[in-house]
Chains A and B, each alone.
Chain A
């Protein structure tokens, strides 16, 4: 049956490939038989991360799909075959290998680097920076070179300069304009950028127009500038802007913009409705979009156009945030303030820390129109929220760019999140939905949960939901009770202080002395686990002791995570992710013997699932005999310290990240805290352990360790922030001691470090003052408290299996030996799973 139309996609770059994915995923292949031509020999790859080719990634790992993706999906991909002509009369596409009929064409030919018309620009060793082949050529040329020059000090030029530096060349950047990155930053920002980049050993030459390139004396080439100054170099990379690859379109008579680019409408149609154009080759509303995200939007639009949908392309936000040569640069909206007459500007410049921030604000001071950041992108996300959601600015907009300690506005709290912000992703509940529920009569958290289902899925949004609900209730004049629950008129932090100060060691004593008089003395599932955690942080008595056991969540009671069918998971500690073959074998043998589903976790250890309650003590007996100890995967406590392999094996490593990870994991294991805590330790800046997504992230430097804090993965990812640099081993753990104890002391229940940090008045600066400068004078005390926890550590499972009283609970039925007959398993991929 040949009702299928022939669709030809020209260009297998990032955007062309995205269109293929869209077609494959959305049934486009039922309608079209698709052929893709790619001039490059590689299948589509991630150009955005091209530079990583020099830091160890290869063509395969940069590729955007598996090698057989096209074949499996039924799309014909012809790499290494450039289209040389579009014959619109015959409706054929021409390559040097043949002619191919079409019904529709999508042009996704991207752009090429502009090489200024300078005599000598075609000499050997004059290169560009766009494709994998370009990078191969640069690498080859760099082998016999000692110096390199990049022509062009824009975004890509600086990225190329970084690459040359990485190839051990003495590197210079030559820019025609009077500052670096003229498109993104202003004079002040450019000046700061120059200082920072020169400090990295890259020479910056501004206002230099190259007149010609000729033979050099000391080096291969000599560049001659307008004032007859010269610069000698072995290698030149041109990065003077990009131009759309619109030649095919010109040749066949499609409408082209004055300065190039194939003109398209909101449906991505060119002047010939049989032909579409997307990505960097397309000119929409007089603009070329040199970023990948708008290209992807165009690809989605093209899919819709090809399948008679009505999605329109409506332009795209060009805000960007990057790290160039290790320097933060951010640009939002109208960063120069020259597109909005009457706009006002706020500027902040710190010559010592080398930070520059600028706000472009509407004439009435209410809306953010643009922003520019150099040296520190910390406030980028907040500013972007203001900009893209049109949130009204605070009375003092300048507070947004002032350093936090001088009374600046904190980052966006729940109040300033837009109505559209998703709060609960399991049930797709937005802030607007929550407000609607409150307006419809919900008067507390429970009511909102009941209405919207928010936080009833994975529960990961509990804290965020609470802060939004509290805020909205307060905004409506409802007095929000900050008490932890109906049994105590105190916050978690107040309870913590009471326990510490009065030395209260049991829940019953606490509730007798400080509980609400008008309730019974039982507590509930909110206050009991919270108090259990506080008691453990302070005194570290085994959580299964008789006085504490009724307080614990079931996971802590049975020291295992309850799964949805009532069985448990078993997770022994594998500190730093390092494990001997013998121990691996034991894990395998135990899993086999007790019929457990086995899975390697993101935390670099092994979970064994499906353990029956009555088997837990035997399983742990065997594990402990083999030298394992509990992994606290069930507790609000230290989970894992993830590590990369580090200097012992890795050729890039500068410190022993595994050794440090193991040491830290052993130091903090067993620490009970308001929520779980994860660490990561990487052996160098390549950051293979993804430490910046952890509560505590540690990255090795030549001189020691950089410490990052308050990161988070999971459902609301947050990059950890740099807290202290070049610490030696002892400084490192002492800083962490203080940091963690301060968190344990001041956080709300179930508040991760990231949320705690965001709600902390004074923010990171305040935290630094407390932890690094001891502004509260509590550091010695915090260190002492942590040392107590470290000194009193004992494996809870070892403690439990040596105590027959504690083991009594590990029976499905007190009066019957049978296991729970309703637990039924089936098998999947060779292992058990709940039926």
Chain B
């Protein structure tokens, strides 16, 4: 398969499977100021999603973050087990393996501008945690 063909297929998939909100877990499963991982069947196929919970950080809207659990530097699924913090004003998680930082908001790696983790929309519905994917 050529690169162009591959690109086409993904485009097709995007069109065919539109994203939908689904339940990931409950508030009880979360660990405050840290992360957990969830297994989701998304429109793009199965995904391991790291979910971070920063209660009371900057008003209700900014408490939850969902990004790729997969660490592109080590190729291991470990992002949810990193330390959460903030650098230059933005909340980040540090990969537990080689310690690169990823912005929680958009998955951008601070050490390497070419690397960005996938992110998903996430929010509370009552006591449940819902992700769009």
Binding site for B on A (CB under 8 A): 450, 456, 486-487, 519-520, 522-525, 527-529, 546, 549-555, 557-558, 562, 564-566, 808-809, 811-816, 818, 820, 822-823
Task: Assess whether A456 is in contact with B54, with CB atoms less than 8 Å apart.
Answer: no
A476 and B78 alpha carbons, distance in the complex (Å): 40
Extra contacts, 6 of them, besides A525-B83, A550-B83 (Cβ < 8 A), are A520-B91, A522-B33, A549-B31, A551-B83, A558-B81, A565-B76
Residues in A with CB closer than 8 Å to B92 are 524
Is B10 positioned at the interface, with any CB of A under 8 Å from its CB? no
On whether the beta carbons of B89 and A815 are closer than 8 Å, the reply is: no
Chain B residue contacts of A529, Cβ below 8 A: 83
Stretch of B1-9, B12-20, B36-44, B117-125 lying at the A interface? B36-44
Say how far B54's CB is from chain A's closest CB, in angstroms.
7
CB-CB under 8 A for A809 and B36, given A524-B86, A554-B78, A554-B81: yes
Chain B interfacial positions (CB closer than 8 Å to A):
24-25, 29, 31-34, 36-40, 48, 51, 54, 57, 74-78, 81-89, 91-92, 94, 96-99, 101, 111
CB-CB under 8 A from B36, the residues of chain A are 809, 811, 814
Contact of B78 with A525 in the complex, beta carbons under 8 Å: no
| A-chain residues with CB within 8 Å of residue B74 when the two chains form the complex | 564-566
Closest to A529 in B: B83
| A557 close to B38 (CB less than 8 A) | no
**A550→B96 contact, CB < 8 A:** no
Contact B48 A486, beta carbon cutoff 8 Å:
no
Establish whether residues B32 and A550, one from each chain, have CB atoms under 8 Å apart when the complex forms: yes
CB <8 Å contact, B81 and A486: no
- Which of B37, B51, B78 interacts with A562 by CB under 8 Å? B78
19 contacts between A and B (CB under 8 A): A520-B86, A524-B87, A524-B92, A525-B82, A525-B94, A554-B83, A557-B81, A564-B97, A566-B76, A812-B37, A813-B38, A813-B39, A814-B37, A814-B38, A814-B51, A815-B24, A815-B39, A818-B39, A822-B76
The answer to whether B94 and A549 have CB atoms under 8 Å apart is: no
Q: For residue B76, which residues in chain A have a CB less than 8 angstroms away from its CB?
A: 564-566, 822-823
Q: Are B29 and A525 in contact (CB under 8 A)?
A: no
CB-based nearest A residue for B76 = A566
Of all chain B residues, the one with the shortest Cβ separation from A816 is B39
CA distance A665 to B56 in the complex (A): 43
B86 CB to closest chain A CB (Å) equals: 4
Q: With A520-B57, A524-B92 as given contacts, are A815 and B38 in contact (CB-CB < 8 Å)? A: yes
Cβ contact within 8 Å between A566 and B78: yes
By the criterion CB–CB under 8 Å, are A814 and B29 in contact?
yes
Query: Known contacts A562-B78, A564-B97, A822-B77: does B31 contact A550 (CB below 8 Å)?
Result: yes
Interface centre among A549, A566, A809 (most CB of B within 10 A): A566
Residue in A522, A552, A808 whose beta carbon sits within 8 Å of that of B91 in the complex: A522
Judging by beta carbons under 8 Å apart, are B38 and A820 in contact? no
Q: Contacts A550-B33, A816-B39 known; A528 to B77 CB distance under 8 Å?
A: no
User: In the assembled complex, which residues on chain A have CB atoms less than 8 Å from the CB atom of B31?
Assistant: 549-550, 808-809
Determine if A814 and B34 form an interchain contact, defined as CB atoms under 8 angstroms apart: no
Q: List chain B residues, Cβ under 8 A from A808.
A: 29, 31
B31, B85, B94: which has the most chain A beta carbons within 10 Å? B85
A-side contacts of B51, CB under 8 Å: 814
Kindly report which residue of chain B lies nearest to residue A456, judged by CB atoms: B98
Nearest CB to that of B54 among chain A residues? A522
Q: A529–B85 Cα gap in the complex (Å)? A: 11
Contact at B84–A814, with CB atoms within 8 Å?
no
Tell me how far the C-beta of B119 lies from the nearest C-beta in chain A, rounded to whole angstroms. Answer: 18
Cα–Cα, bound, A822→B83 (Å): 22
Inter-chain CA distance A811–B80, complex, in Å, is 11
Q: In whole angstroms, what is the CA distance A811 to B89 when docked?
A: 31
User: CB distance A522 to B57 under 8 Å?
Assistant: yes
B83, A528: Cβ atoms under 8 Å? yes
B88 to chain A: closest residue by CB: A486
Given the known inter-chain contacts A564-B97, A566-B76, A820-B48, please indicate yes or no for A522 contacting B84, CB distance below 8 A. Answer: yes
Bound CA span A6–B111, Å: 58
Known: A450-B111, A813-B38, A813-B39. A562 touches B57 (CB 8 A): no
**Contacts A525-B99, A562-B96 given: A550-B81 contact, CB under 8 Å?**
no
Chain A residues closer than 8 Å to B82, beta-carbon distance:
525, 554
CB of B38 within 8 A of CB of A520, answer no
Residue contact A553 to B29, C-beta cutoff 8 Å: no
A-B pairs, 6 with minimum CB distance: A524-B85, A554-B96, A566-B76, A550-B33, A525-B94, A816-B39
Q: Report A-chain residues with C-beta under 8 Å of the C-beta of B75.
A: 565
- Tell whether, in the assembled complex, residue A523 and residue B37 are in contact, meaning their CB atoms are under 8 Å apart: no
CB distance from B121 to the nearest CB of A (A): 17
Which residues of chain B come closer than 8 Å to A487, judged between CB atoms?
A: 85
Tell me the complex Cα distance, A566–B77, Å.
6
**Are B94 and A524 touching (Cβ within 8 A)?**
yes
- Pairwise interchain contact A813-B84, C-beta atoms closer than 8 A: no
Shortest CB distance B28–A (Å): 8
Q: Return chain B residues, CB-CB under 8 Å to A546.
A: 32
Contacts of B40 in A (CB 8 A): 815
- Chain A residue at minimal CB-CB distance from B110: A446
Tell me which residues across on chain A come within 8 A of B57, comparing CB atoms. 520, 522
Q: How far is the CB of A567 from chain B (nearest CB, A)?
A: 9
Residues in A whose Cβ lies below 8 Å from that of B98: 456
Closest to A613 in B: B81
Counting chain B CB atoms within 10 Å of each CB, which of A519, A524, A815 scores highest? Answer: A815
Instruction: Report how far A566 CA is from B81 CA in the complex, Å.
Output: 10
> Is A549 in contact with B34, judged by CB distance below 8 angstroms?
yes
CA distance A145 to B109 in the complex (A): 77
Give the one of A522, A524, A557 with max B CB within 10 A.
A522
What is the CA–CA distance of A40 and B98 in the complex, to the nearest angstrom? 54
Choose from B32, B85, B88 the contact partner of A525 (Cβ within 8 Å): B85
In angstroms, how far is the closest chain B Cβ from the Cβ of A550? Answer: 4
Contacts of A813 in B (CB 8 A): 37-39, 48
Residues in B whose Cβ lies below 8 Å from that of A520:
57, 86, 89, 91
Q: How far is the CA of A555 from the CA of B40 in the complex (A)?
A: 26
Residues of B within 8 A of A816 (CB): 38-39
In the complex, A390 Cα to B125 Cα: how many Å?
A: 71
Determine how close the nearest CB of chain B comes to the CB of A397; give it in whole angstroms.
43
Chain B residues, CB < 8 A from A565: 74-76
Report A-chain residues with C-beta under 8 Å of the C-beta of B94: 524-525
In the assembled complex, how far is the CB of residue A444 from the closest CB belonging to chain B, in whole angstroms? 13
Give Cα distance in the complex from A564 to B78, angstroms.
10
Residues from chain B with a CB closer than 8 A to the CB of A555 are: 96
* Chain B residue nearest in CB terms to A566: B76
* Contact residues in B for A553 (Cβ distance below 8 Å): 83, 96
- Which of A554, A812, A813 has the largest number of chain B CB atoms within 10 A? A813
Contact residues in B for A554 (Cβ distance below 8 Å):
78, 81-83, 96
Inter-chain contacts of B32 with A (CB < 8 A): 546, 550
Complex Cα distance, B84 from A529, in Å, reads 11
Question: How far does the alpha carbon of A529 sit from the alpha carbon of B83 in the complex, in Å?
Answer: 9
Report how far A566 CA is from B91 CA in the complex, Å.
23
Expressed in whole angstroms, the Cα–Cα distance for A815 and B82 within the complex equals: 19
Q: Given the complex of chains A and B, what is the CA–CA distance between A525 and B99 in angstroms?
A: 8
CA of A565 to CA of B97 in the docked complex: distance in angstroms? 9
Bound-state CA distance A525–B82 (Å) is 8
Q: Which residues of A contact B96 (CB under 8 A)?
A: 553-555, 562
Q: Are B81 and A814 in contact (CB under 8 A)?
A: no
In the complex with contacts A550-B32, A812-B37, A815-B25, A820-B87 CB distance below 8 A: no
* Chain B nearest CB, measured from A324 CB (Å): 48
Let me know if B83 and A562 touch, CB within 8 A: no
Chain A residue, CB-CB nearest to B41: A816
CA of A557 to CA of B81, assembled, Å: 8
Report the separation of the CA atoms of residues A823 and B78 in the bound assembly, to the nearest whole angstrom: 11
Question: A798: shortest Cβ distance to chain B, in Å?
Answer: 21
A820 touching B85, Cβ below 8 Å: no
- Expressed in whole angstroms, the Cα–Cα distance for A528 and B78 within the complex equals 19
Contact partners of B97 in chain A: CB under 8 A:
562, 564, 566
Chain A nearest CB from B50 CB (Å) reads 11
Q: How far is the CA of A822 from the CA of B36 in the complex (A)?
A: 17
Q: How far is the CB of A187 from chain B (nearest CB, A)?
A: 58
